Structure 1
Amino acid sequence: MHVGDWIDHAGGIAHTNDALRAGFTRYSIKAAVDARVVRRIRRSWLATVNAPSSLAAAAWSGGRVACLSAASHHGLWTLDDERFHLAVPPHSGHVRRGGALVHWSTGPIPIARTTLVEPVVNALWQIADCRPFEHALATWESAIRSGQISVDLLDRLPMTSAAGRAVRSACSQLSDSGIESIPVARLARIGITVAQQVVLDAHAVDGLIGDRLVLQIDGYAFHRTAEQRQRDIAADRRLRLMGYTVFRIGYADVLNDWERVELEICTAIAQGLHLARSDDVQGGVRHERRRRTARAVLPTR
């Protein structure tokens, strides 16, 4: 195998020592560089044209892809802040920032010197201290939902940060997407508890406040087909016929217009729209709470 093919197979970028351990000689590596099949990043890294830009930037800077950038690399749900996040050891000397946001920290998972991307756990630790509480919570729950980390493991790992402890305490497996985690955390902040994944009309709803106020939270509009949208509208009609008030909240509502949405929810609660009528139990209208309400602990920073 040619050294360039091997590097592509390794992800487009590799440390020189790893190439030597794989059996390539310094001569073959130099020949590949001279032929411009491979380029050097600093002295120790080799990259092909297929090298991800984030990994090349980390190698050039002498650090690791971290925080939000690492979470995106691992496929987790994030709200991108349009910055490249880089981690370096706390006592590092000169760092080539290149416009990156540098995290001078190490996470609980020890990693090799030549690792270019923080593992999921370390990225979550950094996100807790770097991002707003509800944004961090959404990414942590994405990691749990995707199976890349478990609640039990999170409970066993040391957490020295107050912000991290708050996020860890609030985590649950009830949100189906990151955009569902944020409203639950924001409403908890003002004392409103949202029960998640409650079964109504034989289907789980995203959230239920009290007995009668249903929250349905949609993700990106272009991820939903016209057929799915029609099913959602029909489900909302059935719930209204059963006596529920249904708020369907969109992605843009959560991120760009939350104050209005929160005010509408509070106004509905002020009118008692979240409460069951006295004749509901007598008439046999009940709902089944299939899962427990997610814990919501506010950040202390």
Structure 2
Amino acid sequence: MSTTSRAASRRAELASWVRARNGISHSSDIRAAGFTVYDVAGVVSAGMLNRVRRSWLVTPECDARRVAAAGVGGRVTCISAAAIHGFWLPDSARAEQTHVAVKGTASRIASDALRIHWGNGPAPTGPNETEDPILNVLFHVAHCLPRRDALTVWESAIRKKAVTADVLARVAWRSAEAGALATVASALSDSGLETLFVDGMRGAGVRVEQQVWIDGHPVDGLIGSSLVTQLDGFAHHSSAADRRRDLDADARLVLRGYVVLRFDYYQVLFQWDQVRDTILTAMAQGAHRRPVLAVR
């Protein structure tokens, strides 16, 4: 193989190596992997990788949030990292700023495009990390978002199997906000909407049993012995067949003695007081303790 061919092969190998690491790598890690300064110079001059702050190399398609974090010597965290992982985020948390964690000793950073988190999470981080560990992401979420919104992110992380509820319960959070979330976060909610609903009812002093099987199907929530709550997500009922299926399920539950209350995405998020008061009124009328057929 000619010198030119070997150089081209090394450039391709280096670009592929960086791409496999989320499209961003520190020069010290690149050298430790066996690449030389000549390999780096070649891949940069060929436009296959770009430099950030001299010490970082990124692919052209690298996520802009990772690039922004590397640009200030920090790590993507909080809701920005949650978005990268595909966790459920409430609309109020979809900010344009990139949330970045930096060392407490870092110099002050002035940028309207960044939301800087100075506190340290419970998990240690390496010097060349561009994204916080999941536990640190959740730690910052607990401090950054209102409690109910933060809980939706935490339970979404559990649903995505990024972490488990028992692990969260054993972490030394050193934070009242994160510690409180760790005591209630679970894997029972199928969506962020369910998390908001159950937590809202918990705040009203009402216990909701989740994913109970009745008549061969799971219901979103059961209060007492007979009050069923069903939640329709934002994209629910994409077809008339879906709607008919739910109406049939509700009818079967009613025939067995259950009371069924169904709420949609908009009501839970934007008309919460009305949702809560409807359930409390139904309970005041005894809807949660009516006799039902022993079929579950």
Q: Output the TM-score relative to the length of structure 1.
A: 0.86
Please give the secondary structure, in 1, of the residue aligned with 2:194: helix
Per the alignment, residue 151 of structure 2 pairs with 137
Establish whether residue 258 from structure 1 lines up as the match of residue 258 from structure 2: no
Per the alignment, residue 299 of structure 1 pairs with none
Establish whether residue 189 from structure 1 lines up as the match of residue 197 from structure 2: no
Please give the secondary structure, in 1, of the residue aligned with 2:195: helix
Q: Return the offset for 1:173.
A: 2.1
Aligned 8 A contact 1:54 1:65 in 2: yes
* Counterpart AA for 1:157: V
Q: Return the offset for 1:225.
A: 4.8
Please give the secondary structure, in 1, of the residue aligned with 2:222: strand
> How high is the sequence identity, in percent, across the aligned residues?
41
Superposed CA offset, 1:144-181 (max 9, x none): 22322122222221022111121111122211122111
Please give the secondary structure, in 1, of the residue aligned with 2:229: strand
Per the alignment, residue 287 of structure 2 pairs with 273
Q: In the TM superposition, what are the counterparts of 1:103-252 in structure 2 within 5 Å?
A: 103-221=117-235, 224-252=238-266
For residues 119 and 229 of structure 1, do their structure 2 counterparts lie closer, same or farther at Cα, with a shift above 3 Å needed? farther
Please give the secondary structure, in 2, of the residue aligned with 1:185: helix
Per the alignment, residue 296 of structure 1 pairs with none
* Counterpart AA for 1:264: T
- Greater shift, 182-191 or 265-274, is seen at 265-274
* Counterpart AA for 1:238: R
* Counterpart AA for 2:34: G
Structure 1 unaligned spans of 5+? 289-301
For residues 287 and 68 of structure 1, do their structure 2 counterparts lie closer, same or farther at Cα, with a shift above 3 Å needed? farther
Q: Return the offset for 1:126.
A: 1.3
Which of the residues 66, 72, 86 maps onto 1:55?
A: 66
Q: Distance in 1 between matches of 2:16 and 2:157?
A: 32
Per the alignment, residue 37 of structure 1 pairs with 48
For residues 5 and 165 of structure 1, do their structure 2 counterparts lie closer, same or farther at Cα, with a shift above 3 Å needed? closer
Q: CA RMSD in A?
A: 2.0
* Counterpart AA for 1:174: L
Q: Return the offset for 1:129.
A: 1.6
Superposed CA offset, 1:46-67 (max 9, x none): 1121111111111112211011
Aligned 8 A contact 1:70 1:118 in 2: yes
Which of the residues 81, 86, 89 maps onto 2:94?
A: 81
- Greater shift, 175-184 or 14-23, is seen at 14-23
Q: Return the offset for 1:224.
A: 4.7
Equivalent residue pairs, number = 282
Higher-RCO chain (CA-CA 8 Å, sequence separation at least 6): 1
Please give the secondary structure, in 2, of the residue aligned with 1:221: coil
